[in-house]
Amino acid sequence: MGETRYDKNWDITGHLSDDGKKVYDKDWNLIGHISDDGKTLFDKDWTPTGHVSDDGKIIYDKDWNVTGHVSDDGKTIYSKHWDVVERSHEPSRAWYSRPHTRSYSSGSSDSGWAGWLIGAIIVLAILYFIFAFLVPIAILNLAAISLIAAFARKEESRFYLLMSLTGLVYLVLDTQFGWLSNHLVENFGVSKQTIDYIFYGNVVTGLSSTFFMIKRWLEASHPISDTKLPDYTWKKLLYAPKRGWYVALLLIVPAAALYLLHNGLPSIVIGRAHSTLAKVSTNLMKNLDNQVTVRTFFTEDLPAPYSNNRRALLDRLNTYKACAGANLQFEVIDPTGPKGEKEAQQNGIMPVQVQVEKNGKVELKRAYMGMVISYEGKNEVFPVIQNPSSLEYDITKAIRRLTSRIREKIGFLSGHGEPALSELSRVQQLLSKQYQLTTIDISRGKPVPADISALIVMAPTQRFPETDKYQIDQ
């Protein structure tokens, strides 16, 4: 019944007819034909699928690409990389190019490599997900994870408590530099609100771990020897001698935590001290061609909420600095004294009056709370910082406007007794550095050009026709 072929483990893979002209699978289903000279192989529909060299030692696909090799005795078939694919008890050169054999069918060897490649890609994707997403999440939650592990083992292990405290320290650093939080927001779309929840949850658990560590140290260094007291920790604590300072510590730790939550964290929330910038802001900072300079004119020692605004501004600028590197520099100026006030006013920052409490009385204090962003001789002025929640939007918008190579157009309306643009030399001097200035005439129903970003109607002396009002409204 012809020749039988086996794989490398000697499992049957197919058969050959007695005349060596027909190829069957292991169930004797016809799958191909072989030419009379044994050098060309066809599928069952007589479509060429492969070739064999004249010496019978090299196997090719239909395009004459090497797909396999044959041993000298003709009993073993190898892939093109010399891996054993098929065996036989008897040599048969015609069999070497059988179309269903993995060693030489068109693209069969490549498909094996494709499988390995797909598997490698899947493994790399899993490793990337683990190290780029799960590991950063675990590090940010190290304080909570360690404390949970300590309770799960039913012991206040020093190792776990130290790990929790380490997680708290890292979290505080991350709020300033945004190492992992920025990575998660930008590359995995983690919301800033989620980063907030992670921050608050781990601050609480980290402080708890700190308390347990102090408690362990105190219990070890000052054991309670009064066995007559009830077996109740808090009563022993209150009645134990020389423990007044311990009680004070138990009160100080929660008080410090409440103070931090009440005074420190709101400023972090307002200023986004965990340093997460939106993707558009990050891209803008990374693609700066030249240096952006920011000067803040903010009076020190202001009461809340103004002091929170100042911290929020500095936190946000540190975030931009961390992203832009040397292409962003900022300077914090306390405009105290005549010289400082003069510099602030020369930069367009005017003083404001704020209420402060002094000696039980409410007084008005002269203060500066502004900022100037400069780029290649152009400036964007923020006279007063009042809404920290929009700082990122305002700063990014200002930097984008300054760094844009296309200047926006400002139109000055004419035809109603307005002063000519040539008469407004001071206005031209101030605006022409950042904008294109042009005169707009809308008489006879002419529309306002579409490329005008702002239309200024300055001191008209004549009435506006209804058609002109309509064009302005459009």
* Band (214; pLDDT cuts 50, 70, 90): low
Q: Is the pLDDT of residue 160 over 60?
A: yes
| Distance between CA atoms of residues 320 and 276, nearest Å | 10
Q: Which residue has the higher pLDDT, 1 or 163?
A: 163
Task: Give residue-wise pLDDT tens across range 357-398.
Answer: 777 677 888 889 899 999 988 888 999 888 888 888 889 988
Task: Give residue-wise pLDDT tens across range 432-466.
Answer: 767 788 888 887 778 888 888 888 888 888 888 88
pLDDT at site 373: 93
pLDDT at site 216: 66
Can you read off the two tokens belonging to residue 80? 């093109």
Task: Give residue-wise pLDDT tens across range 64-73.
Answer: 888 887 877 7
| Distance between CA atoms of residues 213 and 326, nearest Å | 42
Q: Is the pLDDT of residue 135 over 80?
A: yes
Task: Please provide the size of the chain in residues.
Answer: 474
For 266-289, give one letter per residue: b (16+ CB within 10 A) or e: ebbbbbbbbbbbeeebbebbeebe
pLDDT at site 124: 92
* Band (102; pLDDT cuts 50, 70, 90): very low
Task: Give residue-wise pLDDT tens across range 181-207.
Answer: 777 877 787 776 677 778 777 777 777
Q: Is the pLDDT of residue 256 over 70?
A: no
Q: Is the pLDDT of residue 347 over 80?
A: yes
Q: Is the pLDDT of residue 263 over 80?
A: no
On average, the pLDDT of the chain sits at 75
* Band (240; pLDDT cuts 50, 70, 90): very low
Residue 414 identity (one-letter amino acid): S
pLDDT at site 294: 93
Q: Is the pLDDT of residue 126 over 90?
A: yes
Contact 41, 49 (CB under 8 A): yes
Tell me the three state secondary structure of residue 389: helix
Average confidence (pLDDT) over 318-342? 87
* Band (262; pLDDT cuts 50, 70, 90): very low
pLDDT at site 407: 72
**Can the peptide bond before residue 305 be classed as cis, meaning omega within 30 degrees of 0?**
yes
- Its pTM surpasses 0.75: no
Return contacts of 387-394, CB within 8 angstroms, 24+ apart: 388/270, 388/271, 388/308, 388/309, 388/312, 388/313, 388/316, 389/270, 391/271, 391/272, 391/312, 391/313, 391/316, 392/272, 392/277, 392/278, 392/281, 392/316
pLDDT at site 235: 46
**φ/ψ of residue 471, rounded to 5:** -65, -40
Task: Give residue-wise pLDDT tens across range 326-335.
Answer: 899 989 888 8
Label residue 368 exposed, middle or buried (CB < 10 Å: 0-12, 13-18, 19+).
buried
**φ/ψ of residue 12, rounded to 5:** -65, 130
List Cα–Cα distances, 255 to 248, 258, 269, in angstroms: 10, 5, 20
Task: Choose among 396, 248, 471, 13: nearest CA to 5.
Answer: 13
| Orientation angle between helical segments 158-177 and 142-152, nearest 10 degrees | 170
Could you tell me where the beta strands, DSSP code E, fall in 260-299?
A: 292-298
* Band (291; pLDDT cuts 50, 70, 90): very high
Q: Is the pLDDT of residue 232 over 50?
A: no
Q: Which residue has the higher pLDDT, 462 or 3?
A: 462
DSSP, residue by residue, 336-355:
-HHHHHHHHHHTT---EEEE
Q: Is the pLDDT of residue 61 over 70?
A: yes
* Band (176; pLDDT cuts 50, 70, 90): low
